[in-house]
Structure 1
C-alpha cells in the first residue's frame, strides 16, 4: 500500500507530522498553522524551518477555501477546545452552523465541502472535551459525534495518558479516529459487537491495550437534530455519559470505562535530563526560594477580590522539587520564564534546584532535540510550544496501528 496523503490542521510545531512521518507510511500534502492573537507567527516559523514552506499555509483556516486544500486520505489535527454549541442562521441555506471562530466548524466545513472526503480522521483534544460545557456535560462531544455521523463517519475515541504507556510525561488527552462509510474499517466496526471492538479489535489496542473496569457498557442514540442536541443534551446537569473509551456508528454511542494494560519499559523524568553544563539562569536564586516554596505549598488563607469581597482559599501542596523517579507532570503553556510558579517543573541537581531546559521539555513530548530552537524564538516561547504540543510517541504508535489495520482489512476483502 502506498503512503497515505495527510492534511495537517492546527499544526503547531508539527507534532502530528513528526509522529506520522516517523512510521514511513504517511506524507503531509498540505498543512495549516495560524495563531490569531500574535503578529509574529512563531509556531509557523518553526514548522517551516523544519519541514519547508511548500504546501504550508500560514493564514486563518476560516478564510481558506476548501477548493485550495488538496485531496487527502487522512485529516489530522489537535484543534482548540472551545464551546461547540450550534447557532441557527436564517440567512444560511445550510440551516445549522456553529458559532463563528470555533475551529471545529472549520474541520466540519472542509469535510462537508470536499467532494473526495478524507477516508480517515485522526484528531486530538484535551480530555475535558468529553465533559464540556459544565452546564450540559458531554454536549460538545455529542455535537461532534452527531455531525461526523451525518457526514458518513464512524468514530472511536480513547483517553490516553502517555505516562501509563511508558512515555516520559503524565499528559492525558482524548484521541479520536474516524472512518468514512466506504472504508473496510467502517464496515468491520459496524459488524463487530461494541464491547469486542473496544477491548480487542480497536485500532487503539495495538499500541494502547486496555482492560475493562467494573463499570458496565453504556449505550444510547444521539438525537438526529444538531440544534436539539445543542439545546437539550444532558440538561439534567449530571455526569457526562461519555467514558474514556467509546465508539459511535450511525449515531449510536457505546462507551466503556477502561484501564491501561501495560507492562513495558517506563521512561522517568530523570531519563530526559541534560547531562552537560546548564546555563546559570536556569538555577533558582536562594532569594526566590521562599516564593517558590509558598506557591508549591498547601494554602488555607483568606483572600480578597478586587471588589473587596473576602473568601476562603485553599489548595493542596505539590511535590517540590519534582520527583525524578516518576514520569513528569503535564507541561503547560506557562512553563517558561524565571518567575516563581506553582506549575513550572523544578528539579534537584548536584548544583542546586533548577527549571527545565527547552530541550528537556521537547524530550518530555518526544520531539527531536532542539526541534523548536530557531533564531528569534525565546526559550519561554519554546516552552509555550511544548505546553501546547502533543506527545509524538502516541501519534507514531497510533499512526502505525491505523496503517496496519487498513492494510489488514484490505487484504481480507481482496481474499
Structure 2
C-alpha cells in the first residue's frame, strides 16, 4: 500500500498494499512449499476453501480472527510483470500534478538534485524492495516469483492480510488518492501494514512459541536502521517507503497488548486521524485532532496552485532525518500540530511553501533550529528573525512567528522577495 511520497507511503503507494521483505525478521525455512497460485483469476465470490491460496488464507484468517468472505485472486509473476502492474496502477490513479508537485517539493527542500526524476526513482526503489502487493481495485495479489521459498510464504501471508482487510474494511475507497489527505491516508496505510506485519510475524514465530508481541523496541529500531538499498535514490524516499511498516507495527503492538486483535478491529472503525495519532497512542486515545492549516497564498498573481498536501509528523520526521539522527529527527518533529505544503506554477517555474504549526512556541523554536542546517546553513538571522539563502535552486526563506513556521522557496529572484512571501504566508496560518 502507500505511495512513496514526501512522507512518501502517502502519495503514491497507498494505492498498492505491498510488502518489502527487508522490513521483516528473516523468515525460517519452510516445512512445506506454498500453494502454487493459479494462472487464472477466480470469481470474486468463490468460496475461500476452494481458492488458489485456500490453505494460506485459512492460516491467516485463523491468526487474525477474521473469517475470509471469499477466495483471493492472485499469481506469482516476474518482477518485470509486477512492475508493469505497478506502473499501470500509478498511471491510472495518480494525477500528474502530484508527481510534478512532489518533485518540486523534494528539490526545493534540498532532498533531491535539481534534475531529479521522481517516478524513475520510485520505480527503481520499488523494483528492488517490492516482494508483492495487493491491488484493492482488482482484488488481486501479486507475488514475486524469484523470492526464496520462505520469503514467498511470508509475503503471501502478508498480502492475504491486506485481502482480508479489503473484504472486511473496504480498503479501495479509503486508499484512493484525495487531494490534501496525505497524512490521514499515511496513518491508515501504517495501520494496514502494521496489522499485516503482525499476522505475518505471528505465523513466522509460531513454531518457536513466540509472536510479534515478543519483538522489543530495540529489535524494531535495529531492523528499521538496517534498511539499505542498492539503487541511487534520495534517502528520504527509502525512509518513506519503510516507515509505514515500522510505525504501523508499533501502533498495532500497543493496541494488541491492551485489547488483543479486537482492539485492532475496532481501530478500523476509528482509525488514527493523522500520523501524529499513529506515532503517539496517547494522542490517538485523546482523539487529538490535527490543526487545520490552509495553503499559503501564491507568491504573486502569475502563479497558480498546482499541488497541496499535509505532510504530517511522519513526513516532517522524514525530512528532519535527512540532516539529523533518527532519534533527534523524531524528537524535533514530535511537537507537530498541523501543516500544509503547497506548490505553485508559473510557466513551468515552481515555488514551494511549507506552512507548519507546532503545538507550542517552544516546539517551533526547536524545529526552526533543526531546519537551519539543511535549508539555510549559511544564513544569519535578519532583524525579524528570518533566515534566507540564495542558491541555484532559488532563494530559500525560513521564518518563524510564535508557534507558526514557514519555509518559502522561489524558483528565482532575491531573498527580499522570498522573505516577503514568507511573511505573507506565515500570517495566514492559525496562531
The answer to which structure has the higher helix fraction is 2
TM-score, length of structure 1 as denominator length: 0.26
TM-score (structure 2 length as normaliser): 0.26
